[in-house]
Amino acid sequence: MNLRKKISVILVFIFITFLSTLFINISNTKSNNKNEFNFENVTFKDSASNNKYIMWSGRSLQYFLWKHSDISQNKYVQEIEQSYIDSYKTEDNKNQKLMELLENSKSLFEINLSSSITNLSLYGMSNYKEFFAESYARWQSTSDKMKNKAWEIINYYFLHIYNKLKNKFDGGISEEDWPEVESIINEDFNKESNKDNLILKTSLQSKPTDLTNEDLLFDNDNFGMLDLEGVKNNTGSYGANALYSSLQAWLFTLRYSGVTQNDFSYSSGRFSEQVITQLENDVFNLKSPFDKNELARLNYDLYTKASESSILEYSNLIEGKTGKLSFNSFDELSDYYKKETEFELNNESISTIDLKSTFNTFGKFYSFTDSKLNLIKKQVLDMFNTSLYIGRVKDSDYLLHYLTAFIITPDYPLADNKEGVMAYTSTVNADTYSTRYSYLVYTGKSLTMYKSDSENSEYKQNWWSTANIWGTLNHEFGHVMDGFLSQSQSQAEFCENNYSDIMPSVYPKDIYKGVVFGIDIKDNETSNQSASTPSWVLPTSITLTAVLCLGVGLGVGILIQKKFLK
Protein backbone atom coordinates (compact mmCIF):
# COMPACT_ATOMS: atom_id res chain seq x y z
CA MET A 1 0.00 0.00 0.00
CA ASN A 2 1.53 3.34 -1.04
CA LEU A 3 1.71 6.40 1.22
CA ARG A 4 -1.25 8.14 -0.37
CA LYS A 5 -3.49 5.13 0.21
CA LYS A 6 -2.28 4.75 3.81
CA ILE A 7 -3.16 8.38 4.50
CA SER A 8 -6.59 7.91 2.93
CA VAL A 9 -7.32 4.89 5.14
CA ILE A 10 -6.23 6.77 8.27
CA LEU A 11 -8.45 9.72 7.35
CA VAL A 12 -11.42 7.43 6.86
CA PHE A 13 -10.89 5.90 10.29
CA ILE A 14 -10.59 9.29 11.99
CA PHE A 15 -13.69 10.72 10.38
CA ILE A 16 -15.80 7.65 11.10
CA THR A 17 -14.68 7.69 14.70
CA PHE A 18 -15.56 11.32 15.33
CA LEU A 19 -18.52 11.52 12.91
CA SER A 20 -17.18 14.75 11.48
CA THR A 21 -18.21 16.44 8.26
CA LEU A 22 -18.82 13.97 5.49
CA PHE A 23 -16.69 14.37 2.42
CA ILE A 24 -15.33 12.54 -0.56
CA ASN A 25 -11.62 11.81 -0.80
CA ILE A 26 -10.36 11.49 -4.35
CA SER A 27 -7.55 9.13 -5.18
CA ASN A 28 -6.14 9.47 -8.68
CA THR A 29 -4.25 6.22 -8.47
CA LYS A 30 -5.48 3.15 -10.30
CA SER A 31 -6.69 0.28 -8.17
CA ASN A 32 -4.18 -2.42 -7.31
CA ASN A 33 -6.94 -4.83 -6.28
CA LYS A 34 -5.63 -8.36 -6.70
CA ASN A 35 -9.07 -9.58 -7.75
CA GLU A 36 -9.15 -7.48 -10.92
CA PHE A 37 -9.55 -9.52 -14.08
CA ASN A 38 -7.19 -9.89 -16.98
CA PHE A 39 -9.68 -8.59 -19.53
CA GLU A 40 -8.38 -10.79 -22.30
CA ASN A 41 -9.98 -13.72 -20.47
CA VAL A 42 -13.13 -12.17 -19.03
CA THR A 43 -16.53 -13.74 -19.55
CA PHE A 44 -19.72 -13.01 -17.67
CA LYS A 45 -20.14 -16.69 -16.74
CA ASP A 46 -17.39 -17.04 -14.17
CA SER A 47 -17.13 -19.56 -11.35
CA ALA A 48 -20.02 -17.96 -9.46
CA SER A 49 -22.54 -18.45 -12.25
CA ASN A 50 -23.74 -21.86 -11.02
CA ASN A 51 -23.94 -20.89 -7.35
CA LYS A 52 -27.43 -20.28 -6.02
CA TYR A 53 -28.08 -17.23 -3.88
CA ILE A 54 -31.00 -15.94 -1.87
CA MET A 55 -32.54 -12.47 -1.33
CA TRP A 56 -32.75 -11.65 -5.03
CA SER A 57 -36.02 -9.69 -5.02
CA GLY A 58 -34.36 -6.28 -5.25
CA ARG A 59 -32.46 -7.18 -8.36
CA SER A 60 -35.65 -8.37 -10.06
CA LEU A 61 -37.37 -5.13 -9.07
CA GLN A 62 -34.54 -3.03 -10.49
CA TYR A 63 -34.69 -4.90 -13.79
CA PHE A 64 -38.45 -4.31 -13.87
CA LEU A 65 -38.01 -0.57 -13.23
CA TRP A 66 -35.42 -0.31 -16.01
CA LYS A 67 -37.78 -2.11 -18.36
CA HIS A 68 -40.47 0.40 -17.41
CA SER A 69 -38.39 3.46 -18.22
CA ASP A 70 -37.04 5.03 -21.39
CA ILE A 71 -33.60 5.63 -19.94
CA SER A 72 -31.88 3.53 -22.63
CA GLN A 73 -33.03 6.12 -25.17
CA ASN A 74 -31.99 9.11 -23.08
CA LYS A 75 -29.32 10.91 -25.12
CA TYR A 76 -27.67 12.52 -22.11
CA VAL A 77 -27.32 9.18 -20.34
CA GLN A 78 -25.90 7.73 -23.55
CA GLU A 79 -23.40 10.60 -23.64
CA ILE A 80 -22.26 9.86 -20.08
CA GLU A 81 -21.88 6.15 -20.84
CA GLN A 82 -19.95 6.73 -24.05
CA SER A 83 -17.70 9.29 -22.42
CA TYR A 84 -16.73 6.78 -19.76
CA ILE A 85 -16.10 4.02 -22.29
CA ASP A 86 -14.00 6.40 -24.42
CA SER A 87 -11.79 7.16 -21.43
CA TYR A 88 -10.11 3.79 -22.04
CA LYS A 89 -9.19 4.54 -25.65
CA THR A 90 -5.53 4.16 -26.51
CA GLU A 91 -3.63 4.52 -29.76
CA ASP A 92 -2.66 0.86 -29.78
CA ASN A 93 -6.22 -0.29 -28.94
CA LYS A 94 -4.95 -2.43 -26.07
CA ASN A 95 -8.20 -1.80 -24.16
CA GLN A 96 -10.47 -2.83 -27.02
CA LYS A 97 -11.68 -5.97 -25.23
CA LEU A 98 -12.51 -3.98 -22.12
CA MET A 99 -14.37 -1.33 -24.12
CA GLU A 100 -16.45 -4.02 -25.78
CA LEU A 101 -17.32 -5.51 -22.40
CA LEU A 102 -18.36 -2.10 -21.13
CA GLU A 103 -20.49 -1.45 -24.19
CA ASN A 104 -22.24 -4.82 -23.87
CA SER A 105 -22.96 -4.38 -20.16
CA LYS A 106 -23.95 -0.69 -19.98
CA SER A 107 -27.53 -1.69 -19.23
CA LEU A 108 -26.28 -2.28 -15.67
CA PHE A 109 -25.55 1.44 -15.40
CA GLU A 110 -29.03 2.22 -16.70
CA ILE A 111 -30.73 -0.31 -14.44
CA ASN A 112 -29.17 1.17 -11.32
CA LEU A 113 -29.74 4.77 -12.42
CA SER A 114 -33.36 4.33 -13.50
CA SER A 115 -34.07 2.54 -10.21
CA SER A 116 -32.47 5.33 -8.19
CA ILE A 117 -34.60 7.87 -10.06
CA THR A 118 -37.82 5.91 -9.61
CA ASN A 119 -37.35 5.12 -5.93
CA LEU A 120 -35.54 7.99 -4.21
CA SER A 121 -33.59 6.55 -1.29
CA LEU A 122 -29.93 6.88 -0.41
CA TYR A 123 -30.34 3.98 1.96
CA GLY A 124 -31.89 2.00 -0.87
CA MET A 125 -28.67 2.46 -2.85
CA SER A 126 -26.80 0.38 -0.27
CA ASN A 127 -27.59 -2.95 -1.92
CA TYR A 128 -30.42 -4.82 -3.59
CA LYS A 129 -31.89 -5.88 -0.22
CA GLU A 130 -32.24 -2.33 1.04
CA PHE A 131 -33.54 -1.14 -2.31
CA PHE A 132 -36.30 -3.74 -2.18
CA ALA A 133 -37.19 -2.86 1.42
CA GLU A 134 -37.30 0.85 0.65
CA SER A 135 -39.49 0.23 -2.40
CA TYR A 136 -41.77 -1.93 -0.32
CA ALA A 137 -42.09 0.77 2.32
CA ARG A 138 -42.89 3.35 -0.34
CA TRP A 139 -45.49 1.10 -1.93
CA GLN A 140 -47.39 0.42 1.28
CA SER A 141 -47.02 3.67 3.22
CA THR A 142 -47.24 6.53 0.68
CA SER A 143 -50.35 8.67 1.12
CA ASP A 144 -52.72 8.95 -1.84
CA LYS A 145 -51.98 12.63 -2.37
CA MET A 146 -48.25 11.86 -2.82
CA LYS A 147 -48.64 8.92 -5.18
CA ASN A 148 -46.89 9.73 -8.46
CA LYS A 149 -46.07 7.76 -11.61
CA ALA A 150 -43.02 6.23 -9.92
CA TRP A 151 -45.28 4.87 -7.17
CA GLU A 152 -47.66 3.54 -9.81
CA ILE A 153 -44.88 1.59 -11.51
CA ILE A 154 -43.71 0.14 -8.18
CA ASN A 155 -47.32 -0.69 -7.33
CA TYR A 156 -47.60 -2.68 -10.55
CA TYR A 157 -44.53 -4.75 -9.71
CA PHE A 158 -45.85 -5.75 -6.31
CA LEU A 159 -49.40 -6.46 -7.44
CA HIS A 160 -48.58 -8.22 -10.70
CA ILE A 161 -44.95 -9.42 -10.81
CA TYR A 162 -43.88 -10.47 -7.30
CA ASN A 163 -46.44 -13.26 -7.11
CA LYS A 164 -45.47 -14.59 -10.55
CA LEU A 165 -41.87 -14.83 -9.40
CA LYS A 166 -42.86 -16.46 -6.11
CA ASN A 167 -44.89 -19.14 -7.87
CA LYS A 168 -42.25 -19.75 -10.53
CA PHE A 169 -39.01 -20.11 -8.56
CA ASP A 170 -38.29 -22.43 -5.69
CA GLY A 171 -36.10 -20.47 -3.29
CA GLY A 172 -32.66 -19.27 -4.33
CA ILE A 173 -31.61 -18.77 -7.93
CA SER A 174 -28.35 -18.80 -9.86
CA GLU A 175 -27.08 -16.62 -12.68
CA GLU A 176 -28.20 -19.33 -15.06
CA ASP A 177 -31.76 -18.80 -13.79
CA TRP A 178 -31.58 -15.04 -14.25
CA PRO A 179 -32.65 -14.96 -17.93
CA GLU A 180 -35.88 -16.65 -16.86
CA VAL A 181 -36.52 -13.86 -14.31
CA GLU A 182 -36.03 -11.34 -17.09
CA SER A 183 -38.27 -13.37 -19.39
CA ILE A 184 -41.20 -13.22 -16.95
CA ILE A 185 -40.85 -9.45 -16.68
CA ASN A 186 -40.36 -9.03 -20.43
CA GLU A 187 -43.39 -11.14 -21.26
CA ASP A 188 -45.60 -9.14 -18.93
CA PHE A 189 -44.23 -5.92 -20.41
CA ASN A 190 -44.98 -7.01 -23.95
CA LYS A 191 -48.48 -8.28 -23.19
CA GLU A 192 -49.75 -6.15 -20.32
CA SER A 193 -47.69 -3.26 -18.97
CA ASN A 194 -46.22 -1.50 -22.00
CA LYS A 195 -48.41 1.52 -21.33
CA ASP A 196 -47.69 5.21 -21.05
CA ASN A 197 -48.71 5.40 -17.39
CA LEU A 198 -46.21 2.61 -16.59
CA ILE A 199 -43.18 4.05 -18.39
CA LEU A 200 -41.01 6.52 -16.49
CA LYS A 201 -39.96 9.12 -19.04
CA THR A 202 -36.51 10.61 -18.55
CA SER A 203 -36.43 13.12 -21.42
CA LEU A 204 -39.52 15.27 -20.87
CA GLN A 205 -38.94 18.80 -22.09
CA SER A 206 -41.05 20.41 -19.39
CA LYS A 207 -42.06 19.57 -15.86
CA PRO A 208 -45.62 18.23 -15.44
CA THR A 209 -47.93 20.33 -13.30
CA ASP A 210 -49.85 17.45 -11.68
CA LEU A 211 -47.77 17.64 -8.53
CA THR A 212 -45.41 20.18 -6.96
CA ASN A 213 -42.42 19.74 -4.72
CA GLU A 214 -44.71 20.76 -1.85
CA ASP A 215 -47.11 17.95 -2.73
CA LEU A 216 -44.16 15.56 -2.57
CA LEU A 217 -43.12 17.14 0.77
CA PHE A 218 -39.78 18.46 -0.54
CA ASP A 219 -38.69 21.97 0.36
CA ASN A 220 -37.75 22.82 -3.23
CA ASP A 221 -37.09 21.20 -6.61
CA ASN A 222 -33.45 20.42 -5.86
CA PHE A 223 -34.07 16.84 -4.80
CA GLY A 224 -33.25 13.56 -6.50
CA MET A 225 -30.97 14.01 -9.49
CA LEU A 226 -30.61 17.75 -8.88
CA ASP A 227 -29.05 17.23 -5.44
CA LEU A 228 -25.31 17.27 -6.15
CA GLU A 229 -23.22 19.35 -3.76
CA GLY A 230 -24.17 17.89 -0.40
CA VAL A 231 -21.33 19.45 1.56
CA LYS A 232 -22.31 23.00 0.62
CA ASN A 233 -26.06 22.45 0.82
CA ASN A 234 -26.10 20.07 3.79
CA THR A 235 -27.91 17.46 1.72
CA GLY A 236 -27.18 13.86 0.77
CA SER A 237 -25.77 14.52 -2.74
CA TYR A 238 -28.43 12.20 -4.11
CA GLY A 239 -27.80 12.86 -7.80
CA ALA A 240 -24.04 12.46 -7.49
CA ASN A 241 -24.46 9.24 -5.52
CA ALA A 242 -26.94 7.90 -8.06
CA LEU A 243 -24.47 8.45 -10.90
CA TYR A 244 -21.47 7.14 -8.99
CA SER A 245 -23.25 4.06 -7.58
CA SER A 246 -24.60 3.28 -11.05
CA LEU A 247 -21.06 3.35 -12.41
CA GLN A 248 -19.88 0.98 -9.72
CA ALA A 249 -22.81 -1.37 -10.38
CA TRP A 250 -21.86 -1.36 -14.07
CA LEU A 251 -18.29 -2.36 -13.29
CA PHE A 252 -18.91 -4.71 -10.37
CA THR A 253 -18.66 -8.12 -12.03
CA LEU A 254 -15.84 -6.87 -14.26
CA ARG A 255 -13.73 -5.81 -11.31
CA TYR A 256 -14.16 -8.83 -9.05
CA SER A 257 -14.02 -12.53 -9.75
CA GLY A 258 -16.24 -15.12 -8.10
CA VAL A 259 -19.12 -12.71 -7.50
CA THR A 260 -22.58 -12.21 -8.96
CA GLN A 261 -24.33 -8.92 -9.59
CA ASN A 262 -26.52 -9.69 -6.60
CA ASP A 263 -23.49 -9.14 -4.33
CA PHE A 264 -23.16 -5.48 -5.30
CA SER A 265 -23.18 -2.91 -2.49
CA TYR A 266 -22.48 0.81 -2.16
CA SER A 267 -21.84 3.34 0.62
CA SER A 268 -23.14 6.83 -0.08
CA GLY A 269 -21.40 10.06 0.88
CA ARG A 270 -21.70 13.82 0.56
CA PHE A 271 -19.92 15.41 -2.38
CA SER A 272 -18.15 18.78 -2.32
CA GLU A 273 -18.01 21.10 -5.32
CA GLN A 274 -14.40 20.10 -5.95
CA VAL A 275 -15.26 16.42 -5.92
CA ILE A 276 -18.20 16.95 -8.26
CA THR A 277 -15.74 18.51 -10.71
CA GLN A 278 -13.42 15.52 -10.37
CA LEU A 279 -16.35 13.16 -10.81
CA GLU A 280 -17.22 14.95 -14.04
CA ASN A 281 -13.69 15.23 -15.42
CA ASP A 282 -11.56 12.46 -13.94
CA VAL A 283 -14.14 9.71 -13.52
CA PHE A 284 -16.77 10.13 -16.23
CA ASN A 285 -14.38 11.89 -18.60
CA LEU A 286 -17.01 14.52 -19.49
CA LYS A 287 -16.01 17.52 -21.57
CA SER A 288 -18.22 19.86 -19.55
CA PRO A 289 -19.90 19.94 -16.11
CA PHE A 290 -23.03 17.92 -15.43
CA ASP A 291 -25.90 19.50 -17.36
CA LYS A 292 -28.43 20.45 -14.70
CA ASN A 293 -31.15 20.91 -17.29
CA GLU A 294 -30.67 17.30 -18.37
CA LEU A 295 -30.50 16.11 -14.78
CA ALA A 296 -33.75 17.98 -14.10
CA ARG A 297 -35.41 16.10 -16.95
CA LEU A 298 -34.51 12.83 -15.24
CA ASN A 299 -36.65 14.08 -12.33
CA TYR A 300 -39.57 15.49 -14.31
CA ASP A 301 -41.84 12.45 -14.46
CA LEU A 302 -41.80 12.28 -10.66
CA TYR A 303 -44.20 15.24 -10.82
CA THR A 304 -46.73 13.16 -12.77
CA LYS A 305 -49.65 12.04 -10.63
CA ALA A 306 -50.36 8.32 -10.42
CA SER A 307 -53.44 7.31 -12.39
CA GLU A 308 -56.69 7.06 -10.48
CA SER A 309 -57.02 3.44 -11.60
CA SER A 310 -53.74 2.46 -9.91
CA ILE A 311 -54.64 4.28 -6.69
CA LEU A 312 -58.05 2.62 -6.75
CA GLU A 313 -56.50 -0.80 -7.41
CA TYR A 314 -54.45 -0.50 -4.23
CA SER A 315 -57.24 0.95 -2.09
CA ASN A 316 -59.62 -1.79 -3.28
CA LEU A 317 -57.08 -4.34 -2.09
CA ILE A 318 -56.79 -3.00 1.44
CA GLU A 319 -60.56 -2.46 1.67
CA GLY A 320 -61.27 -6.07 0.71
CA LYS A 321 -62.92 -5.25 -2.63
CA THR A 322 -60.34 -7.20 -4.65
CA GLY A 323 -60.99 -10.38 -2.73
CA LYS A 324 -61.44 -11.69 0.77
CA LEU A 325 -59.01 -10.12 3.23
CA SER A 326 -56.93 -12.48 5.33
CA PHE A 327 -57.85 -10.44 8.40
CA ASN A 328 -60.76 -8.01 8.78
CA SER A 329 -59.41 -6.21 11.82
CA PHE A 330 -56.25 -5.65 13.82
CA ASP A 331 -57.72 -7.61 16.72
CA GLU A 332 -58.44 -10.59 14.44
CA LEU A 333 -54.85 -10.48 13.15
CA SER A 334 -53.49 -10.25 16.70
CA ASP A 335 -55.69 -13.05 18.03
CA TYR A 336 -54.60 -15.35 15.21
CA TYR A 337 -50.89 -14.89 15.85
CA LYS A 338 -51.23 -14.93 19.62
CA LYS A 339 -52.76 -18.41 19.38
CA GLU A 340 -50.48 -19.68 16.59
CA THR A 341 -47.24 -18.62 18.31
CA GLU A 342 -48.21 -19.70 21.80
CA PHE A 343 -46.07 -22.13 23.80
CA GLU A 344 -45.50 -23.02 27.44
CA LEU A 345 -42.55 -21.54 29.33
CA ASN A 346 -42.19 -22.11 33.09
CA ASN A 347 -45.88 -23.05 33.32
CA GLU A 348 -46.86 -19.82 31.62
CA SER A 349 -48.37 -19.32 28.17
CA ILE A 350 -46.11 -17.17 25.98
CA SER A 351 -46.68 -15.87 22.44
CA THR A 352 -43.85 -14.69 20.22
CA ILE A 353 -46.27 -12.49 18.24
CA ASP A 354 -48.83 -10.70 20.41
CA LEU A 355 -49.54 -7.58 18.40
CA LYS A 356 -52.31 -6.25 20.62
CA SER A 357 -50.22 -6.39 23.79
CA THR A 358 -47.14 -5.07 21.97
CA PHE A 359 -48.83 -2.04 20.45
CA ASN A 360 -51.04 -1.22 23.42
CA THR A 361 -48.08 -1.05 25.79
CA PHE A 362 -46.00 0.75 23.15
CA GLY A 363 -48.79 3.31 22.68
CA LYS A 364 -49.17 3.91 26.41
CA PHE A 365 -45.43 4.24 26.91
CA TYR A 366 -45.21 6.98 24.26
CA SER A 367 -48.52 8.63 25.20
CA PHE A 368 -50.31 7.89 21.93
CA THR A 369 -53.91 9.06 21.73
CA ASP A 370 -56.48 6.38 20.93
CA SER A 371 -56.88 7.76 17.40
CA LYS A 372 -53.12 7.74 16.77
CA LEU A 373 -52.80 4.21 18.13
CA ASN A 374 -55.63 3.06 15.87
CA LEU A 375 -53.85 4.61 12.87
CA ILE A 376 -50.64 2.67 13.43
CA LYS A 377 -52.64 -0.51 14.04
CA LYS A 378 -54.43 0.05 10.72
CA GLN A 379 -51.07 0.45 8.99
CA VAL A 380 -49.94 -2.86 10.47
CA LEU A 381 -53.18 -4.57 9.41
CA ASP A 382 -52.85 -3.28 5.84
CA MET A 383 -49.20 -4.33 5.79
CA PHE A 384 -50.08 -7.92 6.66
CA ASN A 385 -53.07 -8.14 4.34
CA THR A 386 -51.30 -6.76 1.27
CA SER A 387 -48.25 -8.95 1.95
CA LEU A 388 -50.38 -12.07 2.26
CA TYR A 389 -52.18 -11.17 -0.97
CA ILE A 390 -49.03 -10.92 -3.09
CA GLY A 391 -47.31 -13.80 -1.28
CA ARG A 392 -49.93 -16.47 -1.89
CA VAL A 393 -48.49 -19.66 -3.40
CA LYS A 394 -51.28 -21.29 -5.37
CA ASP A 395 -53.91 -21.57 -2.62
CA SER A 396 -51.51 -21.56 0.34
CA ASP A 397 -50.59 -18.72 2.70
CA TYR A 398 -47.12 -19.92 3.66
CA LEU A 399 -46.22 -16.35 4.62
CA LEU A 400 -48.35 -16.75 7.76
CA HIS A 401 -45.79 -19.19 9.12
CA TYR A 402 -42.70 -17.48 7.70
CA LEU A 403 -42.80 -14.66 10.30
CA THR A 404 -41.97 -16.01 13.76
CA ALA A 405 -41.60 -13.03 16.12
CA PHE A 406 -42.52 -9.33 16.27
CA ILE A 407 -40.69 -7.20 18.86
CA ILE A 408 -40.77 -3.50 19.72
CA THR A 409 -38.40 -2.18 22.37
CA PRO A 410 -37.90 1.21 24.04
CA ASP A 411 -34.14 0.59 23.95
CA TYR A 412 -31.94 2.91 21.95
CA PRO A 413 -29.34 1.92 21.08
CA LEU A 414 -30.59 -1.61 20.69
CA ALA A 415 -29.17 -4.09 23.17
CA ASP A 416 -27.44 -6.07 20.46
CA ASN A 417 -26.53 -3.34 17.96
CA LYS A 418 -24.54 -0.14 17.74
CA GLU A 419 -26.16 3.27 17.95
CA GLY A 420 -27.87 4.28 14.74
CA VAL A 421 -29.67 0.98 14.11
CA MET A 422 -33.40 1.72 14.30
CA ALA A 423 -34.73 -1.76 13.54
CA TYR A 424 -33.67 -5.02 11.97
CA THR A 425 -35.00 -8.15 10.35
CA SER A 426 -33.29 -11.41 11.22
CA THR A 427 -33.63 -14.07 8.55
CA VAL A 428 -32.70 -17.63 9.41
CA ASN A 429 -31.42 -19.54 6.40
CA ALA A 430 -31.94 -23.24 5.98
CA ASP A 431 -28.98 -23.44 3.59
CA THR A 432 -27.56 -21.48 0.67
CA TYR A 433 -30.61 -22.38 -1.42
CA SER A 434 -33.43 -21.25 0.86
CA THR A 435 -34.42 -19.06 3.75
CA ARG A 436 -36.41 -20.65 6.58
CA TYR A 437 -38.09 -17.84 8.53
CA SER A 438 -37.69 -14.23 9.68
CA TYR A 439 -38.46 -12.18 12.77
CA LEU A 440 -38.62 -8.43 13.40
CA VAL A 441 -37.13 -6.09 16.00
CA TYR A 442 -38.05 -2.38 16.10
CA THR A 443 -36.97 0.44 18.38
CA GLY A 444 -39.69 2.64 19.74
CA LYS A 445 -37.61 5.56 18.54
CA SER A 446 -37.97 4.46 14.91
CA LEU A 447 -41.75 4.83 15.28
CA THR A 448 -41.80 8.08 17.27
CA MET A 449 -39.16 10.32 15.65
CA TYR A 450 -41.64 12.58 13.86
CA LYS A 451 -45.11 13.85 14.68
CA SER A 452 -46.14 14.22 11.04
CA ASP A 453 -44.96 13.18 7.58
CA SER A 454 -44.12 16.79 6.71
CA GLU A 455 -41.55 16.89 9.54
CA ASN A 456 -39.61 13.88 8.26
CA SER A 457 -36.25 15.55 7.57
CA GLU A 458 -34.56 12.30 6.54
CA TYR A 459 -37.14 11.84 3.80
CA LYS A 460 -36.52 15.40 2.62
CA GLN A 461 -32.84 14.52 2.21
CA ASN A 462 -33.79 11.43 0.18
CA TRP A 463 -32.51 9.04 2.83
CA TRP A 464 -35.90 7.31 3.02
CA SER A 465 -38.23 6.70 0.10
CA THR A 466 -41.34 7.38 2.17
CA ALA A 467 -42.27 10.32 4.38
CA ASN A 468 -44.58 8.14 6.44
CA ILE A 469 -43.67 8.47 10.13
CA TRP A 470 -44.07 4.72 10.61
CA GLY A 471 -42.38 3.73 7.37
CA THR A 472 -39.84 1.65 9.29
CA LEU A 473 -42.62 -0.88 9.95
CA ASN A 474 -43.03 -1.44 6.22
CA HIS A 475 -39.32 -1.26 5.42
CA GLU A 476 -38.57 -4.16 7.71
CA PHE A 477 -41.52 -6.14 6.41
CA GLY A 478 -40.01 -5.58 2.99
CA HIS A 479 -37.02 -7.59 4.18
CA VAL A 480 -39.43 -10.29 5.31
CA MET A 481 -40.93 -10.39 1.81
CA ASP A 482 -37.47 -10.42 0.24
CA GLY A 483 -36.58 -13.45 2.34
CA PHE A 484 -39.95 -15.08 1.69
CA LEU A 485 -39.37 -14.98 -2.08
CA SER A 486 -36.25 -17.05 -1.39
CA GLN A 487 -38.02 -19.65 0.75
CA SER A 488 -38.25 -23.01 -1.00
CA GLN A 489 -41.42 -25.10 -1.09
CA SER A 490 -39.90 -27.70 1.21
CA GLN A 491 -38.97 -25.07 3.79
CA ALA A 492 -42.41 -23.47 3.53
CA GLU A 493 -44.02 -26.82 4.27
CA PHE A 494 -41.54 -27.44 7.10
CA CYS A 495 -42.44 -24.16 8.80
CA GLU A 496 -46.16 -24.71 8.29
CA ASN A 497 -46.02 -28.20 9.76
CA ASN A 498 -43.56 -27.42 12.58
CA TYR A 499 -44.49 -23.84 13.44
CA SER A 500 -45.30 -24.56 17.08
CA ASP A 501 -41.98 -26.38 17.51
CA ILE A 502 -40.06 -23.36 16.23
CA MET A 503 -41.60 -20.97 18.76
CA PRO A 504 -39.41 -21.78 21.79
CA SER A 505 -36.30 -20.94 19.74
CA VAL A 506 -37.65 -17.45 18.94
CA TYR A 507 -38.86 -16.50 22.41
CA PRO A 508 -38.47 -12.68 22.38
CA LYS A 509 -36.40 -12.60 25.56
CA ASP A 510 -33.93 -15.09 24.08
CA ILE A 511 -33.51 -13.55 20.65
CA TYR A 512 -33.43 -9.99 22.04
CA LYS A 513 -31.86 -9.36 25.46
CA GLY A 514 -33.19 -5.86 25.96
CA VAL A 515 -36.58 -4.58 27.12
CA VAL A 516 -39.60 -5.86 25.18
CA PHE A 517 -43.01 -4.19 25.04
CA GLY A 518 -45.75 -6.55 26.16
CA ILE A 519 -43.37 -8.67 28.21
CA ASP A 520 -41.16 -6.36 30.30
CA ILE A 521 -43.44 -3.33 30.04
CA LYS A 522 -47.15 -3.67 30.66
CA ASP A 523 -49.80 -1.10 31.50
CA ASN A 524 -47.37 1.80 31.13
CA GLU A 525 -44.93 0.44 33.69
CA THR A 526 -41.27 1.28 33.18
CA SER A 527 -38.59 -1.37 33.31
CA ASN A 528 -35.31 -1.28 35.20
CA GLN A 529 -33.95 -4.20 33.23
CA SER A 530 -30.53 -3.54 31.78
CA ALA A 531 -29.72 -4.56 28.24
CA SER A 532 -27.12 -7.21 27.61
CA THR A 533 -25.60 -8.99 24.66
CA PRO A 534 -27.91 -11.73 23.32
CA SER A 535 -26.95 -15.35 23.11
CA TRP A 536 -27.86 -16.62 19.66
CA VAL A 537 -28.78 -20.29 19.90
CA LEU A 538 -30.00 -21.14 16.44
CA PRO A 539 -29.12 -24.18 14.30
CA THR A 540 -28.75 -22.35 10.98
CA SER A 541 -27.13 -19.27 9.51
CA ILE A 542 -28.64 -15.83 10.12
CA THR A 543 -28.85 -12.76 7.91
CA LEU A 544 -29.46 -9.40 9.59
CA THR A 545 -30.85 -6.45 7.64
CA ALA A 546 -30.97 -3.25 9.65
CA VAL A 547 -32.45 0.22 9.32
CA LEU A 548 -29.86 2.93 9.94
CA CYS A 549 -30.53 6.57 10.70
CA LEU A 550 -29.19 9.19 8.28
CA GLY A 551 -26.20 10.35 10.35
CA VAL A 552 -24.82 6.86 10.80
CA GLY A 553 -25.68 5.45 7.41
CA LEU A 554 -24.29 8.15 5.14
CA GLY A 555 -20.83 7.02 4.06
CA VAL A 556 -17.74 8.76 5.36
CA GLY A 557 -14.47 9.12 3.49
CA ILE A 558 -15.43 7.21 0.35
CA LEU A 559 -12.52 6.66 -2.00
CA ILE A 560 -13.31 7.55 -5.60
CA GLN A 561 -10.80 6.28 -8.09
CA LYS A 562 -10.02 8.01 -11.36
CA LYS A 563 -10.09 4.70 -13.19
CA PHE A 564 -11.81 1.59 -11.91
CA LEU A 565 -10.38 -0.83 -14.42
CA LYS A 566 -6.97 -1.52 -15.83
3-state secondary structure of 396: strand
Strands 434-443 and 403-409: parallel
> Mean pLDDT score of the chain, rounded to an integer?
88
Q: What pLDDT is attached to residue 452?
A: 97
Residues 6+ apart with CB under 8 A from 200: 65, 68, 69, 70, 71, 114, 117, 118, 149, 150, 153, 301
Looking at residue 431, what is its pLDDT? 83
> Can you tell me the distance from the alpha carbon of 472 to that of 430, in angstroms, rounded to the nearest whole number?
26
| pLDDT tens digits along 338-369 | 999 999 999 999 999 999 999 999 999 999 99
Cross-strand partners of 342: 351
Backbone angles phi, psi at 403, to 5 degrees: -85, 130
How is residue 444 annotated by DSSP?
T
pLDDT of residue 41: 34
- Identify the pLDDT of residue 539: 34
Query: Whose CA is closest to 249, among 362, 113, 375, 91?
Result: 113
Q: Select from 497, 395, 319, 444 the least CA-distant residue to 163.
A: 395
Contacts of 178 (CB under 8 A, 6+ apart): none
Number of residues that make up the chain = 566
Determine the Cα angle at 226 with ends 224 and 227, to 5°. Answer: 75
Low-confidence ranges of the chain (pLDDT < 50): 1-47, 526-540, 552-559, 561-562, 564, 566
Q: How confident is the model at residue 152, as a pLDDT?
A: 98
pLDDT score recorded for residue 418 = 72
Separation between Cα atoms, residue 253 and residue 261, nearest integer Å: 6
pLDDT at 530: 35
pLDDT in tens, 408-442: 999 999 997 777 899 999 999 998 899 999 999 99
Position 545 scores a pLDDT of: 76
Report pLDDT for 45. 38
Phi and psi torsions of 401, nearest 5°? -110, 15
Q: DSSP for 324-382? A: --S-SSHHHHHHHHHHHTEEEETTEEEES--HHHHHHHHHHHTT--HHHHHHHHHHHHH
Q: Write out pLDDT tens, residues 230-272.
A: 999 999 999 999 999 999 999 999 999 889 999 999 999 999 9
For residue 3, the tally of other CB atoms under 10 A from its CB is 7
Predicted local confidence at residue 164, as pLDDT: 98
pLDDT score of 549:
62
